[in-house]
Amino acid sequence: MNWIPEQLAFSVAKQRPKDSNKGTFGRLLCICGSAGMAGAAMLCTGAALRCGTGLVDAALPESIYPIVASRLPEAVYTVYREDDFSPVLHSLRKASACVLGCGLSTAHPERVRNVLRACCDPLVLDADGLNCIAEDVSVLDTVSAPLVLTPHPGEMARLLHCSVEDVQADRVGAAASFAAEHKVILVLKGAGTLVAAPDGRLLKNPTGNPGMARGGSGDLLAGMIGAFLAQGIEPYTAAAAAVYLHGLAGDRCAARFSQQAMLPHDMLNELPRIFLRIENTRRI
Ligand SMILES: NC(=O)C1=CN([C@@H]2O[C@H](COP(=O)(O)OP(=O)(O)OC[C@H]3O[C@@H](n4cnc5c(N)ncnc54)[C@H](O)[C@@H]3O)[C@@H](O)[C@H]2O)[C@@H](O)CC1
Ligand SMILES: Nc1ncnc2c1ncn2[C@@H]1O[C@H](COP(=O)(O)OP(=O)(O)O)[C@@H](O)[C@H]1O
Ligand SMILES: [Mg+2]
């Protein structure tokens, strides 16, 4: 079993060309959040903003739009009515990558399937996006876009129709076989997150700690992967690098604030210091 190398993780923080503009760094659509889960949308969108994306578009139901927009002025917003999802499908055409599912709720599984079918660019499927397809995962085999799936063991168990204990008893088998069967990048989260590719490549994450075991940590990770995909980084590298850097942010927060008290929000605020260190290392 190989560990995710630091060098691979740091490689996603590319030098920004002097004459670059926001178009150079992609446009990410985050289809996340629902009434009661504005936080998931905020953490996912915030992470995407902090990971170098040129433009982040958060697609939100109108009930939570004011909450999220008041906290994240750098994002643009696709606001949709609860009974009309069509603006989101319109915004999808303009995006270079998409994150689908953090805090979305499972009230409209057909919307998740429609986005998957319509999407031509790389897409991260997380949380309720996964729960919405768990009953019948065959939709994955009809998708032409590169997919990165980010289940925690509970979501993985739903996808495989088995128990969490079954997943944890053979994490490598669960991740590798799902990735190969459905031709997706599969990120199986938890202590020692695994990143599996359809061609058999598999990496284990050396960073991270139990202080990250709290609501919101995974929403951050989805936004980070989406940010790297939007910037054109190939999906296996984007996923492995985000997993490593997310765990590194967690470790630095544990050292500053304790595993007991650290929050996903602290991890989000740690990202600038991590990228600064990478940029400074590059200059030496
Ligand atoms: N602030 C917010 O708005 C938040 C919204 N969230 C959203 O809430 C919805 C429900 O997601 P949840 O993940 O909370 O609920 P789930 O019911 O999907 O998953 C929780 C269960 O999964 C299992 N599990 C998860 N991680 C595990 C691990 N490492 N080892 C073993 N078992 C594990 C456990 O049985 C656990 O009780 C999602 O849409 C999610 O995005 C969460 O992300 C929490 C924060
Ligand atoms: N014990 C642990 N050690 C290392 N990382 C962990 C641990 N527990 C959780 N994490 C990480 O925290 C994140 C939790 O994601 P998830 O369960 O989807 O949370 P949420 O949906 O509440 O945001 C994952 O990236 C996972 O790998
Ligand atoms: Mg989650």
Where along the chain do its domains lie? 23-193+212-247
3-state secondary structure of 15: coil
Distance CA 212, CA 264 (A): 7
Architecture category of domain 23-193+212-247 in CATH = 3-Layer(aba) Sandwich (3.40)
Q: Please check if 193 is assigned to a binding site.
A: yes
| Per-state percent for the chain, helix, strand, coil, to nearest 5 | 50, 15, 35
Q: Is the ipTM of this complex over 0.90?
A: yes
Q: Please check if 219 is assigned to a binding site.
A: yes
The residue-averaged pLDDT of 57-80 equals 98
Q: pLDDT digits over 1-38, tens only?
A: 899 999 999 999 989 999 999 999 999 999 999 999 99
3-state secondary structure 89-135: HHHHCCCCEEEECCCCCCCCHHHHHHHHHHCCCCEEECHHHHHHHCC
Confidence of residue 283 (pLDDT cuts 50, 70, 90): low
To test the ligand 2 pocket, which listed residue (3, 102, 128, 217) has its Cβ within 8 A of the most ligand atoms? Answer: 217
Closest residue (by CA) to atom 1 of ligand 2?
A: 210
